[in-house]
Structure 1
């Protein structure tokens, strides 16, 4: 097998596992939230960790909204309802992130955690099988 064929095969396997990559990203967020929730009241280092977490979450959701969801909606119009729901949930999560950043309370962290868990569960149920069936993900930057 030539190097080009090996690269192509590796890319195809990676694309077929794109939904699994989404779950891995969500699992990272879940673990980070669990760590935040077991810490002391949100102050000092824990607050800084929370800000970093929230920035990464915002980046993740904005990437889905700008690139992934429009791509899927164009090719799979039957996903429109699910994608609209996910976009709306992104707005709710962004509001909770703002409230957490402003208040920094355990209650706000718990609200965000509950909303994100429900959001991740729904997104995985709706999109992982679809993402794992893609032949290509043209929204990615090629190396």
Structure 2
């Protein structure tokens, strides 16, 4: 195995941490915009930030469900239960994101949007920490040949 191939094999854990950090940062920006959302321009910015954050989080979870988790399960069948829990988290977060998007589209009060973002943030952080504890060491050895954006989202 060449050094480049070895580097690619250990990059998945690092890539996941980096994507999680970018999603955390996008969430903080959306929260800040919700807190400042009492002016018309801030409300427009909030819509953009919430939409961008929601889209990025959804694509991240879809990529994990479609590509990453099956690859992990193939090499580590003993992780079936934690992977199932992570997929359930994705479904729950997806439901919460859908409710946020509906309220953003309906131009809900920034306080309502802030509460949505608080709830999503709490569950998202718990999910990310569990996912990182469960998978990072395994991802460093995972032989998955795919584009990072397809597996972990475009962020």
Q: TM-score, normalising length from structure 2? A: 0.80
**Distance apart, 1:11 and its partner CA:** 2.8
Tell me how far apart the structure 2 counterparts of residues 110 and 123 of structure 1 sit (CA, whole Å): 20
Q: TM-score, normalising length from structure 1? A: 0.86
Deviation string 1:78-126 (CA, Å, 9 cap, x unpaired) is 1101100000000000001011111241111110111100010000000
Tell me how far apart the structure 1 counterparts of residues 32 and 19 of structure 2 sit (CA, whole Å): 20
Tell me how far apart the structure 1 counterparts of residues 6 and 59 of structure 2 sit (CA, whole Å): 26
Deviation string 1:9-62 (CA, Å, 9 cap, x unpaired) is 123113213111101100000011111112223720121121011111111111
The structure 1 segments of at least 4 consecutive aligned residues displaced by more than 4 Å after TM superposition are: none
Q: Tell which deviates more after alignment, 45-54 or 8-17.
A: 8-17
Tell me how far apart the structure 2 counterparts of residues 55 and 86 of structure 1 sit (CA, whole Å): 19
Indicate the SS of the match to 1:133. coil
Q: Which residue of 2 aligns with 1:133?
A: 141
**Distance apart, 1:131 and its partner CA:** 0.3
- Size of the aligned set, in residue pairs, is 133
Q: Which residue of 1 aligns with 2:129?
A: 121
Q: 2:30·2:53 contact (CA, 8 Å) conserved in 1?
A: no
Q: Which residue of 1 aligns with 2:107?
A: none
Tell me how far apart the structure 2 counterparts of residues 15 and 75 of structure 1 sit (CA, whole Å): 14
Tell me how far apart the structure 2 counterparts of residues 114 and 126 of structure 1 sit (CA, whole Å): 18
Q: 2:29·2:49 contact (CA, 8 Å) conserved in 1?
A: no
Q: Which residue of 2 aligns with 1:103?
A: 103
